[in-house]
Structure 1
Amino acid sequence: MQLTFDADVEEFRGEFLAFLAEHLPDEAEAGERPRSSADVPEWARRWQRKQFDNGWLLPGNPPEFGGRNASILQQYVHLEELSRRRIYHSFNPQGLGIIAASLLSFGTPEQKERWAAPILRAEITAALGMSEPGAGSDLASLRTRAVRDGDSFVVNGQKVWTSGANEADVLLTFVRTDPDAPKHKGISVLLIPTDTPGVTRRPFASVCAEDDFDFNEVFFTDVRVPAENLVGGLNQGWGVANGALGHERTLLWLGFADRLQDLVEDFRPVTVLDRDHYATLAMDNQALRLLGSAALARADRGEQDVAALSVLKILGSEAVQTASEHALDGAGFDGLVHPALTAPYTPWNNDHFASSWFERYARSFAGTIAGGTSEIQRTIVAERVLGLPRS
């Protein structure tokens, strides 16, 4: 067992730290705050382009797409240093981590050049059109329809929970193109510019905060989309979906580990958690990092362990939620209104750093839903780890 990184990985870390020391925007430069997950202020666009041009945006990518062909361990220490400083490499995370990544995996050379590169360079922003009113976790139940008409598809239907759609320039949209095929096999993916006639976006508030309008309903009424915007082939959308979520999940556990570490540090000086609950939080944090490190080592050896990623997501997301719930209980009625912390705004502090205990708890449910619900993750563990029959 090796508990340290090799010299080449530490050298990689040192190069990245030197880049941050020279180029990281300061608070005076980064005054404007994003309004949604696809609203990227100009200073943040410059920051993202600076990373892209120097190969530090997504180091695992080839140089022409903002990387330097980094190994999985090098990618890990890159994210580790970002999270340690609470730095965002992009304020359009779904555009960077899901949409652009999916285009690099499944798109044509023209699509990579026209869409992926501008998203990575923060020239445009993107949102993910997956969930529908009747198809949330069960993507295969989607009903948004796309019918081929000459050199275009005509799209009709609705999406919901589409984060950042009101500010995004393009939607990676999952549609049904063969209603007679088995539900997993009749799905395709289209890139739909949001200024296309017939696209209507309606943001709505979150339970977490009345001024949080990241969620959207999106309606498509006879929307004509060029056939060249088809991603991954006709009726091949299920594979694209699995790839898209795979990009999101590979190092997803690290985000939960960072949240747990934040909670450990934030709860230390306050009394909202009793000793037993604080000890549980600290142990969950350590357990997640150890299990995540083991999964990371397997990935570095080229081994795919989907079940391990499911275990990590369950542990991380539910540990964050449990700790937040106990904190809200400990704060009592004051937890509904009083800020959990009063840290001043910086370019990198997330809004939950200065939110109430209730907001922290309410936001924790996103972790047990996005990227595959806890119920779905338990099904994967039951079938692939425990060998239980499919229900």
Structure 2
Amino acid sequence: MRLTFDDDVEAFRAEFVAFLDEHLPSEADAVERPRSTAHIPDWARRWQRLQFDHGWLLPGHPPRFGGRDAGILEQYVHKQELARRRIYQNFNPQGLGIVAASLITFGTPDQHERWAIPILRGELTAALGMSEPEAGSDLAGLRTRARRDGDNFVVNGHKLWTSGAHDADVVLTFVRTDPDAAKHRGISVLLIPTDTPGIERRPIATVCSPDDLDFNEVTFSDVIVPAENLIGELNQGWKVANGSLGHERNLLWLSYAERLDHLVEDFRPVTELDADHHAGLVMDAYALRLLGSAALARAARGESGTAAVSVLKLFGSEAVQNATEHALTAIGVDGLDQPTVTARFSPLNPEELAPGWFERYIRTFAHTVAGGTSEIQRNIIAEHVLGLPRR
């Protein structure tokens, strides 16, 4: 395998680096931090809009949607440069990576103009309403219902773990529109403005950030939603869901690889056992990059790689979790006392540990759940890689 890029890809990288060098906000400009994953400070809105206008927000998209029709290799080096500098591309990741992407794929031209482009430009923020109290990883078990009433839908139900909902302008909401259909059928998708009467959003504190609220419990009580807010076809929400999570998983392995690299940089072994774990971390980082590079090459050739994505998701998320656990164990009780430092917009000072090691470790459990749990990934690998029966 040749682990280098052609001249045109490197020219693309150089152009993006020049853009960052010229336009990246300073730390002084970026002093205000987001309250949640659906709150974008004013300076960050300007930064996101600038990326959109120059085609650097989502390079794989056409210019109309903030891109430049870049191929998969160009998209890779774009993400690579952002990760190397530890730069937040935007502060509404589910809005940009899932909601807007789903609207572009399944929405109408009017929905593109009304919702997708404003989300991409940072003028609106969005949350994703999938999980419910009894339907977390099992989307097919959702119970939130939408009943058709003339030109509207009437929505009743309950969503849980909806990141940033209390700050979001809209929620991409998965609802059951045919209760008599099979579990995977009869699901539809509505884009619901959060100021619609009947919506209640209650932020939920978590163990790692009791004062930094992001998760939400959202209830819908006779919420009236215009039928024109239906995304995709009626009762075809399962197709939209697969597309939504597909957008989320695109090049996800690179973020795990960069996290492993940061752990290699930030944690310095002291004992012989620490050194052994550190060596394992370095090997995991190399292995993940090699597996990811192979998947990237297949994608560049136009080959499908659903199973490979599952392998990368499983290995990457669990390698980060194991590495962080070893680091926290090696540091001992001091790892619990370290204050959390808000991550900077520009590259971190290598001498800083931000956030604290305990928070780093706690947050890794989200990575083994979000975008498809490790258990689900193992099922996919068992069936599609190992050829094992479903039962």
- Which category of TM-score, normalised to the shorter sequence, fits these structures? over 0.9
Aligned partner of 1:297: which letter? A
Q: Is the CA contact 2:269–2:278 (under 8 Å) kept in the aligned structure 1?
A: no
Q: Is the CA contact 2:196–2:223 (under 8 Å) kept in the aligned structure 1?
A: yes
Aligned partner of 1:138 in structure 2 is 138
* 2:68 is the counterpart of 1:68: yes
**Residue 360 of structure 2 aligns to a residue in which SS?**
helix
Q: Whole-Å Cα distance in 2 between the matches of residues 2 and 269 of structure 1?
A: 32
What stretches of structure 1 move > 4 A for 4+ residues in a row?
Answer: 269-273
Aligned partner of 1:378: which letter? R
For structure 1, the 5+ residue unaligned runs are none
Closer/same/farther in 2, CA of residues 249 and 286 from structure 1, 3 Å limit: same
Q: Whole-Å Cα distance in 1 between the matches of residues 99 and 353 of structure 2?
A: 28
Aligned partner of 2:355 in structure 1 is 355
Q: Whole-Å Cα distance in 2 between the matches of residues 269 and 66 of structure 1?
A: 43
The 5 Å alignment of 1:193-232 reads 193-232=193-232
Closer/same/farther in 2, CA of residues 270 and 11 from structure 1, 3 Å limit: farther
Normalising by the residue count of structure 1, what TM-score does the alignment of the two structures yield? 0.96
Which of the residues 344, 347, 350 maps onto 1:346?
344
Aligned partner of 2:303: which letter? E
Deviations 1:216-256 (A, max 9, x none): 00000000000000001100000000000000112110111
Q: Is the CA contact 1:272–1:327 (under 8 Å) kept in the aligned structure 2?
A: no
C-alpha deviation, 1:179, in angstroms: 0.5
Q: Whole-Å Cα distance in 1 between the matches of residues 147 and 260 of structure 2?
A: 46
C-alpha deviation, 1:143, in angstroms: 0.3
The alignment-based identity, stated in percent, is: 72
Normalising by the residue count of structure 2, what TM-score does the alignment of the two structures yield? 0.96
* 2:383 is the counterpart of 1:388: no
Aligned partner of 1:236 in structure 2 is 236
Aligned partner of 1:312 in structure 2 is 312
Q: Is the CA contact 2:324–2:361 (under 8 Å) kept in the aligned structure 1?
A: yes
Aligned partner of 1:259: which letter? R
In terms of mean alpha carbon deviation, does 321-330 or 114-123 score higher?
Answer: 321-330
Q: Whole-Å Cα distance in 1 between the matches of residues 390 and 117 of structure 2?
A: 41
Deviations 1:265-305 (A, max 9, x none): 00137669711110111100000000000000000111111
C-alpha deviation, 1:214, in angstroms: 0.5
The 5 Å alignment of 1:168-317 reads 168-268=168-268, 274-317=274-317
In terms of mean alpha carbon deviation, does 267-276 or 187-196 score higher?
Answer: 267-276
Q: Whole-Å Cα distance in 2 between the matches of residues 130 and 300 of structure 1?
A: 31
Closer/same/farther in 2, CA of residues 110 and 4 from structure 1, 3 Å limit: same
Closer/same/farther in 2, CA of residues 273 and 97 from structure 1, 3 Å limit: farther
Q: Is the CA contact 2:86–2:345 (under 8 Å) kept in the aligned structure 1?
A: no
In terms of mean alpha carbon deviation, does 264-273 or 298-307 score higher?
Answer: 264-273
Aligned partner of 2:87 in structure 1 is 87
C-alpha deviation, 1:47, in angstroms: 0.2
After superposition, the CA RMSD in angstroms is 1.6
Closer/same/farther in 2, CA of residues 270 and 146 from structure 1, 3 Å limit: farther
Aligned partner of 2:323 in structure 1 is 323
Aligned partner of 2:57 in structure 1 is 57
Deviations 1:71-127 (A, max 9, x none): 000000000000000111111011000000001110011111100000000000000
**Residue 375 of structure 1 aligns to a residue in which SS?**
helix
Aligned partner of 2:228: which letter? E
